[in-house]
Amino acid sequence: MRMDEDLVRLGINLDPEFEKIYNEIPVHTSHTERWNKNTRELFDISNEMELAPEPVPHMTRDILCMDCGQCTLGCPRRSLWDSRQYLRDALDSGAKLVNYAHVEKIIIKDNKATGVQARIGWSSEVYPADLVIVSAGALNTPVILQNSGIECEPRLFANPITCVAAHKPNSHQDKEIPIPFIIRRNDWIIAPYFDHISYFFNSAWKYPAKDIVSLMVKVLDMSEGTVINTGGKTIEKTLMAQDKKRLADGIKLSKEILAKMGIEKDNIFTGTLMSWVQAGSFPLTEKTAKTFHHEKLPDNVYVADASLLPASAEKFPILTIIALAKRIAHICKENFGNT
């Protein structure tokens, strides 16, 4: 889903990038035609409760979809689009992929990056570079930058989620497409979602997968948190009172929806508290809205991942992250096209 409202408020218009994305990636809601009985019932109940459920666009090739429910585990038919397509395009254009390399830091001299140091097995390698783009994710990009002597902000959004589930024989949600629709509130959302993590590792999820119906609660959290590099990566994330209230409100409404399905309170259980989308450790600002380049960075170093997002993601930001990456690629081509 497009999720750039906070970027628009900074003066960033990504319309050209999104137009390209929609020409490259299949984004649609045709999966609504294949919803099973359980999903349809949840959607109808949500409508009856005037919760305004919205079908969620998915990036799938329907002709390949087997309705196996394994999207989050790795689609066995490659029906679900993923970024390997961009990787294949890059390799076809001459890019070199160095796999199994643990990037440690950027080599910087006179405020200019000269290369990247990475560990491969027991050895350390330095890869010379005229331009460095760090896209290691919001939990790893800060570590690489700190190792390189670049300070990040002490903030971290984690999008905490938990699931409210119940025993409902033959609901077969484990075979349904994840997150077929969402219910939006100001600071949290609810969506049908079979939580494989809780199913495999949480003892409360003791029923056969086909007999579990589950609703995910996803919260917009405060920015209290940080990724610290002190000889080893340490992630600190605190859920504030406001975050906990949002989770509690979402859990309460989820239970009300399940009750409308005829499920008794004693048959309802919760899932493991997890983080879905991490962001915000190197956010864009009004000052960097045009250049996409922070003054703390060397002139030839850019960050291009969820670290740039200035706020917690209400929806799912993969398309927005791709749009940011496309804009940064364009800027780099203009500034470093001859390198």
Pick from 256, 275, 294: which residue ends a domain? 275
DSSP 56: P
Structure tokens at 45: 């109940």
- What pTM did the predictor assign? 0.90
Q: Which residue has the tokens 């199913």?
A: 199
The reply to whether 3 falls in a domain is no
- pLDDT at site 73: 83
121 and 174, same structural domain?
A: no
Residue range of the domain that includes 266: 26-80+158-275
Structurally, the chain folds into a number of domains equal to 2
Average pLDDT across the chain, whole number: 92
User: What are the two backbone dihedrals, phi and then psi, of residue 331, each rounded to the nearest 5 degrees?
Assistant: -65, -45
C-alpha 288: how far from its chain's center? 23
Is a pLDDT exceeding 90 seen at residue 3? Answer: no
Residue at 15 is within a domain:
no
| Structure confidence by residue, pLDDT tens digits, 27-81 | 999 999 999 999 999 999 999 999 999 999 999 887 788 888 888 888 888 888 8
Distances in Å between the alpha carbon of 271 and those of 205, 212, 281?
8, 12, 27
Same domain, 207 and 129: no
The CATH number covering residue 105 comes to: 3.50.50.60
Mean pLDDT of 94-123: 95
pLDDT at 338: 64
What is the mean pLDDT of the segment spanning 192-199? Answer: 96
Residue 20 lies in a domain: no
